[in-house]
Structure 1
Amino acid sequence: MDKIIVSPSKYVQGENAIAAIAGYVKPYGQNPMVIADDFVSGLVGETVAHSFIEAKMQFSMELFGGECSRQEIDRLQVKIDNDHNDVIIGIGGGKTLDTAKAIGFYKKIPVVVVPTIASTDAPTSALAVLYTPTGQFDQYLMIPTNPTMVIMDTTIIAKAPVRLLVAGMGDALSTYFEARANAASGKATMAGGAPTLSAQALAKLCYETLLADGFKAKIAVENNLPSKAVMNIIEANTYLSGIGFESSGLAAAHAIHNGLTKLEEAHHLFHGEKVAFGTLVQLALENAPLEEINTVLNFCHQVGLPTNLFDLGVKEIDLNKLMDVAIASCAEGETIHNMPFTVTPEAVVSAILTAHTLGLKK
């Protein structure tokens, strides 16, 4: 199996980076279309427009409708055809960014994504999640190339609710452990090959950065302030975790997350919050050393990530419901089968209860 690493062509991160967006985009096209929802447009629309006007570049700005759906993608493609745009820029949350990725894929034009939060590692990936116009899951769109460029404006991200940054840490927390398991099993990664040494190194650096700077970054963002720790965590949540998961592989933690969607009590949680608990379950599943599990638990307690079923919203432990979670986690095609041993639903239930019990102790 060939070793493969994938990544955006360029990653830009800095304070007020969005004010210089025209200069970053100009090498890729002269007539970009910018999509953003109403809130984000009010937040950064004037700054973005000023940047393009100063650079004497033609541009279009369109309001994003709210769902990354076929209908919204088609609507915006018509606008691009009419305005002859040669670059698509998505600014905002995941659905806006995924819409930009999909449009870039269908129109064969460069894609620039500008996240306004750092709650997941999805911005750097070659994947878009499509929904129906009413918000129901439709399909995954697997895109053959990663975004042309990712721009992270740390000033904007530091002012977002702290829970979003912490959720991003939860998503990033799994990266090293899933990469480690995937390497041990020898299974193919999402990039379609074996992990490279560099991808595995980025996954490990992601974990080390979380432990070193996660709590400090949380303190800064609670006060709407940037800091070196915030800069490091934004990079860990987005770039290190993004390259780490896509090119080093997923395993049990994300499959457990998918299983946890069966619990109605946990529907209020963000993706990364459920992934954090899934990471603890994976560690229990592989019988990791207690010292390692305690390190992860301590980190979760520090930043406020869930460590037990009660934190997820569960009121009473129901083994039948946990078996439903475990069965969904072990469904055919799930990434739990990238673990270096056979995993059964019974083993998953046992690991969930172990992680829950360990996570109760603070």
Structure 2
Amino acid sequence: MTQITRSPLKYIQGSGELYRLGAYCRQIGATSACAVVDPYILSHYGDGIARSFHEADLPLVQLEFKGECSLKQVEEIAAGLDPDATVIIVGIGGGKTLDTAKAVSHIANLPVIIVPTAASTDAPCSAISVLHTEEGELDQYLQLRRSPDIVVADVEIIAKAPPRLLAAGMGDALSTYYEARACRKSGAITNAGGTGSIAAFALARACLDTLLAEGAEAMKDVRQGVVSPAVAHIVETNIYLSGTGFESGGLAAAHGIHNGLSVLEECRHMLHGEKVAFATLVQLMLEQAPEDEISGVITFCRSVGLPVTLWEVGIAEPQEDRLRLAAVASCSADSPIFNMPFPVSPEQVLEAIIAADRRGRESNKDC
């Protein structure tokens, strides 16, 4: 079976990188740039961004991201681009802003630089844009022709985001190794279009090792406003190691169960990575993983403030019929749960959810 590893052409991380964007765009041959920018970032950093493009002698248009990451908005932005210029698309902000920029680059067939301003998920490196309707409902997962040309992570900007976002990114990254391991055992086809490679699995392993070694320290530091080496390492872990690791290593039960939990209204206020963290524990229960792995995941989640019980993901009074809805949704058509190396049924998922909740509640008693 063909192995495929997909990743950005270049990943750049450091302090002050937001003010070097003009130079990076110039390096890849652009003669002008169109930036889709989060409103908060535009109001606080827009002048500095514009200055970097002026210094690079590169014309820049900054568009404030408004509304939804919808196909309509994407097509309107693409239609407004200068057809006679070598335009580069730049996305600066959170998930929907970045997905909009990636989708515009895909439709217009132009290069794109992605600049996440929080390390809350591993999506910035991926070749997927999640599109919504104008009303905010999920529309489609747009598969892109390529990964971003450059991903730029400015650690100083990211460290100023709410600490909960960094923790959520760790929750998303926590699943990367366990899902890649499952896909490796089953020979599943990954998002990159082939089976997982040695490189992808090594990144997934490094992702878990870094989380366990430095995650708690990084959370302590960002809460104190310190941009430490641990914070920088976790930013790289959340964005690059997990982003490349999941796309080329594969998704499995954890993200399938996340999708199932997301159908429950009571869970919808939770961040993606928070639900993935609990779903990772559910995957380990489903696998009947060794006790040291289970206890290690619980200890890690407790150390950074991630949920390990149903109550902590918003389900205050678990009812079996509600949990069964989530279990059935976890096993819907095309769910990554079927990348597990053994058959999985909704009843097994339900039992694993209940077992994970029980195990998480038992850990509360030990604290």
Q: Choose 135-144 or 280-289, whichever is displaced more.
A: 135-144
Task: State the Cα deviation string for residues 121-170 of structure 1 (Å, max 9, x = none).
Answer: 00000000001112111111001200000000000000000000000000
Shift of 1:81: 2.9
| Residue matched to 2:2 | 2
| Residue matched to 2:260 | 259
Shift of 1:275: 0.2
| Residue matched to 1:116 | 117
SS at match of 2:34: strand
Gaps (5+ residues) in structure 2? none
Q: 2:75·2:107 contact (CA, 8 Å) conserved in 1?
A: no
Tell me how far apart the structure 2 counterparts of residues 336 and 78 of structure 1 sit (CA, whole Å): 38
**1:214 to 1:294, Cα distance in 2 relative to 1, 3 A:** same
| Residue matched to 2:199 | 198
Tell me how far apart the structure 1 counterparts of residues 47 and 220 of structure 2 sit (CA, whole Å): 30
Give the counterpart letter for 1:339 in structure 2. M
Task: State the Cα deviation string for residues 5-38 of structure 1 (Å, max 9, x = none).
Answer: 0000000000111111111111221201111132
Gaps (5+ residues) in structure 1? none
Tell me how far apart the structure 2 counterparts of residues 101 and 85 of structure 1 sit (CA, whole Å): 16
| Residue matched to 2:224 | 223
| Residue matched to 1:340 | 341
Shift of 1:90: 0.5
Tell me how far apart the structure 1 counterparts of residues 69 and 86 of structure 2 sit (CA, whole Å): 20
Shift of 1:51: 0.6
Q: 2:35·2:89 contact (CA, 8 Å) conserved in 1?
A: yes
Tell me how far apart the structure 1 counterparts of residues 42 and 116 of structure 2 sit (CA, whole Å): 13
Is residue 2:13 matched to residue 1:13? Answer: yes
| Residue matched to 2:46 | 45
| Residue matched to 1:86 | 87
| Residue matched to 1:305 | 306
Q: 1:262·1:325 contact (CA, 8 Å) conserved in 2?
A: yes
* TM-score with structure 2 setting the length: 0.97
| Residue matched to 1:164 | 165
- Within-5 A mapping of 1:183-194: 183-194=184-195
* TM-score with structure 1 setting the length: 0.98
Q: 1:66·1:96 contact (CA, 8 Å) conserved in 2?
A: no
Shift of 1:83: 8.0
Give the counterpart letter for 1:147 in structure 2. P
Give the counterpart letter for 2:119 in structure 1. A
Q: CA RMSD in A?
A: 1.1
Shift of 1:222: 0.7
Give the counterpart letter for 1:150 in structure 2. V
Give the counterpart letter for 1:11 in structure 2. Y
| Residue matched to 1:353 | 354
| Residue matched to 2:183 | 182
Shift of 1:82: 6.8
| Residue matched to 1:31 | 32
Q: 1:205·1:240 contact (CA, 8 Å) conserved in 2?
A: yes
Tell me how far apart the structure 2 counterparts of residues 202 and 59 of structure 1 sit (CA, whole Å): 35
| Residue matched to 2:245 | 244
| Residue matched to 1:283 | 284
- Identity percentage of aligned residues: 49
Task: State the Cα deviation string for residues 216-239 of structure 1 (Å, max 9, x = none).
Answer: 110111122210000000000000
**Runs (4+) off by over 6 Å:** none
Q: Choose 80-89 or 275-284, whichever is displaced more.
A: 80-89
Tell me how far apart the structure 1 counterparts of residues 143 and 164 of structure 2 sit (CA, whole Å): 29
| Residue matched to 1:134 | 135
Give the counterpart letter for 1:238 in structure 2. I
Shift of 1:85: 5.4
Is residue 2:152 matched to residue 1:151? Answer: yes
Q: 1:265·1:313 contact (CA, 8 Å) conserved in 2?
A: yes
SS at match of 2:82: helix
Shift of 1:78: 2.5
Q: 2:127·2:148 contact (CA, 8 Å) conserved in 1?
A: yes
SS at match of 2:73: helix
Give the counterpart letter for 1:16 in structure 2. G
Tell me how far apart the structure 1 counterparts of residues 219 and 70 of structure 2 sit (CA, whole Å): 34
Tell me how far apart the structure 2 counterparts of residues 76 and 353 of structure 1 sit (CA, whole Å): 46
Tell me how far apart the structure 2 counterparts of residues 228 and 38 of structure 1 sit (CA, whole Å): 29
Tell me how far apart the structure 2 counterparts of residues 103 and 237 of structure 1 sit (CA, whole Å): 24
**1:131 to 1:85, Cα distance in 2 relative to 1, 3 A:** farther
Q: 1:119·1:168 contact (CA, 8 Å) conserved in 2?
A: yes
